[in-house]
Chains A and B, each alone.
Chain A
Amino acid sequence: MSKVLDVRSLRMETESGVPIIDDVSFSVASGEVVALIGESGAGKSTIGLSALGYKRPGLRFSGGQVLLNGQDMLSANPAELRARRGREVAYVAQSAAAAFNAVHRLGSQITEAPQQHGIMSRTEAEEQLVRLARQMQLPDPENIARRYPHEVSGGQLQRLMVIMAMACRPDLLVFDEPTTALDVTTQVEVLAALKETLRDSGASAVYVSHDLAVVAQIADRIVVLRNGRMVETGTTAQIIEAPQQTYTRELLGAVNTVPKLKAVPREHTARPPAPIVELKGIQAAYPKYGKADAAPVLHDINISIPKGRVLGVIGESGSGKSTLAKVISGLLPQTGGEVLLDGQVLSKRIRSRSLAQRRDLQLVVQMPDLAFNPARSIASSLDRQLAFFTDLSAKARKDRIADLMRMVELDPEITQRMPHQLSGGQKQRVSLARALSTEPALLLCDEVTSALDTVVAASIVDLLKKFKHDIGQSMMFISHDIATVAKLADYVAVLKAGCVVELKPLRDLLSKPEHPYTQMLLNAVPDLRPGWLESHRGDAGVRSAEHNFSERNRTGAA
């Protein structure tokens, strides 16, 4: 087999000389899919983009070669690059929504490249678009070209971007985390469509991802990267079954899969502890001016969270998970129903809640980068929280902050820094410390692991587990990822379009999910084994078709 891409000891550095990529070599044979895997900052996207001879502003190539079909991309001049990009190599970005121009129809954007390169006439390009759209299982393939980017769903847009990349039938496709921004159920469909199309076209691919389970489904070989260096390389089976390096094993250990639990006979028929927080018939909507009846986001939510237990809330984006947390914390007054804290009805508005009530409900947010005021030091942010809720002296607060830091397994010295000097995982730990500093009755965790790398996310979940066992912390743990929820939760509520479709103990939910939507969510989490995708397609084909149908109705109405 001939090599389509041959990266030879590639080195890159910043303009100030800090090495970013250090001696990376790998090759992609014709028809092969090679995955670049690693955490954020590993340089995987940067390497992927180098196949197009592209470097981000502020970086420069400092050594090595990137041979595409035998010719070096690094030394090519702009005219050569223009001629080869699109035609020989094409790029699929993570966020399709940001990659399409919002004011042009999809068809004209997709058919532009082959016409520019003089490969096809407009009619040919349009015919090809319809053919690929059918292959990618997009709804209404004949007319989808006439739509604008906002008129199709995120998963459809991602598939359309793959079609755009394939329009010139390139020899190599570079996928940069193409399914990371998608919901699990959508991810499976995009992945399946992608794999099929790649196989049929015979194109090679570089697949950049941080998710080993996803990569296992699509890649022939895997290159593990860390801090711009290669850690290990091998076939997918080798890497997954017999990893050589500690780091690879660690990555594998952090992969989230849903545990296979068997239903147990009710041994603990003892009644659960008294509820700490109860939601009764909660309805919520985002206010709109001039409109009295804004569309509700939550419909009649009834949940109670027993003291010392963890309630997991799962659902896809737009299902109302975060809205639920906002209602409980008082950030969004509900339009109907009641929130009870320890048996007492809470006021809808924060201002009418007592200090003790506010202290008892603490929120930890998704994005650690936005959780702290960038203009204040970590210590000052934490100190404010303590000064606000407690009457400790300045000295006592300082000691308490140090204790809290040790509790979240951080060096107390870290509080002297500014937020931007901390990593995402550190910030999320401090964020937890801030919430726990008031010894809240209920900790509201809104997607706290979603913005983190898998290894770091796993350590945050371990930390939460520790709080649950050591201090009996009650929590509401919101996540889109059922595998993460399964590590922590005692009870799980499945949210779909603002309704709770299933609410039961974790064990029961995993062993005998009743609602079809829960079953679909559970089935959509990739297993860490090659071939899972095919077997999943087999038993989920019917549901998938059904899902496609509803997706089409939704976008048709838009």
Chain B
Amino acid sequence: MTLHEQPVQASTKSGMLSPLGLSGTIAVGVLISFLVVGLAAPLIAPHGYSEVISDMSFLPVGEAGLLGTDYLGRDLLSRLLYGARTTLLLALAATAIAFVFGVLGGAAAGILGGRWDMAMSRINDVFFGFPQIMLALIVVSAVGTSYTVLIVTVGFIEGTRVYRIARALAQNIMTMEFVQISIARGENMGWILWNEILPNAAVPLSTDLGLRFTYSILLLSALSFLGLGVQPPAADWGVMVRENLTGLHFGAAAALMPALAIFSVTLSVNHLVDLRLSRMQRDISEELLS
């Protein structure tokens, strides 16, 4: 009687194991090396980040230190290495906060629905709708800048974006019948969030994680560039772009190098996210055909 029920073939797991391709491998390599040299900066940097090594500012590549000097005659390479540490760690911390706040808040709103959703989402919309750099400037100028303030502020601002995505995903999953069955069983909200919503929202959320990380780097760098983020003499890529801006007139590497570093990190992350997305699409079309 079960004659005609053929089980769907166990599909091979495509995903983590398949090679990333050349460009993907390069992107991963770039990210890992920035992270490693950033963390190891005190060990491998030839000079301290605030140590003046020459009387001449904006020395070209190779003349003093490997990458020349910045506007105060400090070693650019050393500052770049220390900068990787600050910029990447701050961005990571901010992204982590954005995700905890955004996913929990958004999914809770999606699960609760009704008036709760209305109240939470409209409050979120207020902050979401505010131009993010303005909001950050207001907070930082009001309470003063510190690493903690920066991380929390950027984390919160990016979190409002994560919130929207998490809420939309949760709303979709909530209408699925397996969730309805859990609700009818009497499961509480926490269980549903952890067991039904999150595992099924993991893929799109992890894609957003990459994007959120790049946006955090850009927002932090922008704040530092405006003088409200990381304070000199600490090294941060955003700070470095700003302080060496005048060097652009002399064609100095000092202004371009940190910009290049920001560019290569965001590009790598973006590329990995794109790879992930195209793989998701391929999986979906394979599933439809099977």
Number of A positions contacting B (CB below 8 A): 52
Interface residues contributed by chain B, number (CB under 8 Å):
33
Is the Cβ of A462 less than 8 Å from the Cβ of B1? Answer: yes
CB pair B177 A365 closer than 8 Å: yes
Residue of A nearest to B115 (CB): A289
Given that A14-B289, A373-B195, A375-B199 are contacting pairs, would A331 and B4 also be in contact in the complex, using a CB cutoff of 8 Å?
A: no
Q: CB-CB < 8 A to B186: which residues of A?
A: 350-351, 353, 355, 358, 388
Q: Which of B5-13, B84-92, B271-279 interfaces with chain A?
A: B5-13
B181 lies within 8 A of chain A by Cβ? yes
Scan B7-23; emit 1 where CB is below 8 A from any A CB, else 0: 11111000000000000
Chain A residues near B118 (CB-CB < 8 A): 289
A365 and B180 contact, CB distance less than 8 A: yes
Hey, which chain B residues are within 8 Å of A375, CB to CB?
A: 199-200, 202
Q: Are A331 and B289 in contact (CB under 8 A)?
A: no
Judged by a CB distance under 8 angstroms, whether A503 is at the interface is: no
Find out whether the CB atom of B200 lies under 8 angstroms from the CB atom of A455.
Answer: no
B199/A373 in contact, CB under 8 A: yes
CB distance A371 to B181 under 8 Å?
A: yes
Residue A249 is within 8 A (CB to CB) of chain B in the complex: no
What is the number of contacts between chain A and chain B, taking CB atoms within 8 Å? 99
**Taking the complex as formed, is A477 at the interface, i.e. its CB lies under 8 A from any CB of chain B?**
no
Stretch at the interface among A418-426, A529-537, A543-551: A418-426
A363 touches B184 (CB 8 A): yes
By the criterion CB–CB under 8 Å, are B287 and A330 in contact? no
- What separation, in Å, do the CA atoms of A538 and B157 have in the docked complex? 70
Given A57-B285, A374-B200, A420-B11: A425 and B2 interface contact (C-beta under 8 Å): yes
Contact with B along A348-376 (1 / 0, CB 8 A): 00110101001001010111001111111
Is B183 engaged at the interface, CB distance under 8 Å to the other chain?
yes
Instruction: Tell me the bound Cα distance from A92 to B51 in angstroms.
Output: 77
- B177, B199, B287, B289: the one contacting A367 at CB < 8 Å is B177
Note all chain B residues with C-beta closer than 8 A to A361: 184
Q: A407: shortest Cβ distance to chain B, in Å? A: 14
In the complex, the answer to whether B199 meets A459 with C-beta atoms within 8 Å is no
Q: Are B185 and A358 in contact (CB under 8 A)?
A: yes
Contact B177 A370 (CB under 8 A): yes
Chain A residues, Cβ within 8 Å of B285: 57-58
Cβ-closest chain B residue relative to A456? B5
> In whole angstroms, how far apart are the Cα atoms of A552 and B3 in the complex?
45
Proximity string of chain B (265-285) to chain A, C-beta cutoff 8 Å, 1 when within and 0 when not: 000000000000000000001
In the complex the two chains form, is B180's CB within 8 Å of A376's CB?
Answer: no
A58 to B287, CA, bound (A): 11
1/0 contact trace for B154-196 toward A, CB 8 Å?
0000000000000000000000111111011111000000011
Residue of B nearest to A20 (CB): B289
Whether B178 contacts A372 by the Cβ 8 Å rule is: yes
Of all chain B residues, which has the CB nearest A370?
B177
Asked if A131 is at the interface of the complex by the 8 Å CB criterion, the answer is no
Contacts of A39 in B (CB 8 A): 4
In the complex, what's the smallest C-beta–C-beta distance from A244 to chain B, in angstroms?
Answer: 18
Q: What residues of chain B lie closer than 8 Å to A330, measured between beta carbons?
A: 184
With A and B bound together, what is the CA distance between A417 and B11 in angstroms?
11
Q: Is there contact, CB below 8 Å, between A370 and B176?
A: yes
Q: Which residue of B lies closest to A354 (CB)?
A: B186
Q: Among B1, B10, B179, point to the contact of A459 (Cβ < 8 A).
A: B1
Contact residues in A for B176 (Cβ distance below 8 Å): 370
Measured CB to CB, the closest approach of chain B to A383, in angstroms, equals 12
| B176, B185, B187, B199 — most chain A CB neighbours (10 Å) | B185
A395 in the interface, Cβ–Cβ < 8 Å? no
Q: A370-B176, A375-B199 are in contact. Are A456 and B4 (CB under 8 A)?
A: yes
Once bound together, how far apart are the Cα atoms of A424 and B285, in whole Å?
19
Minimum C-beta distance from A45 to chain B (A)? 13
Say yes or no: B184 contacts A455, CB within 8 Å: no
Residues of A within 8 A of B1 (CB): 409, 459, 462
Say how far B200's CB is from chain A's closest CB, in angstroms.
5
B residues less than 8 Å from A371 (CB atoms): 177-178, 181
> Which of B's residues lie within 8 Å of A, judged by CB?
1-11, 114, 118, 176-181, 183-187, 195-196, 199-200, 202, 285-287, 289
| 19 CB < 8 A contacts A-B | A41-B6, A250-B4, A350-B186, A351-B186, A355-B186, A358-B185, A361-B184, A365-B180, A373-B199, A376-B195, A384-B195, A410-B2, A417-B10, A420-B11, A421-B8, A421-B11, A423-B5, A456-B5, A459-B1
- Leading 5 A-B pairs by shortest Cβ distance: A375-B199, A365-B177, A370-B177, A425-B5, A423-B5
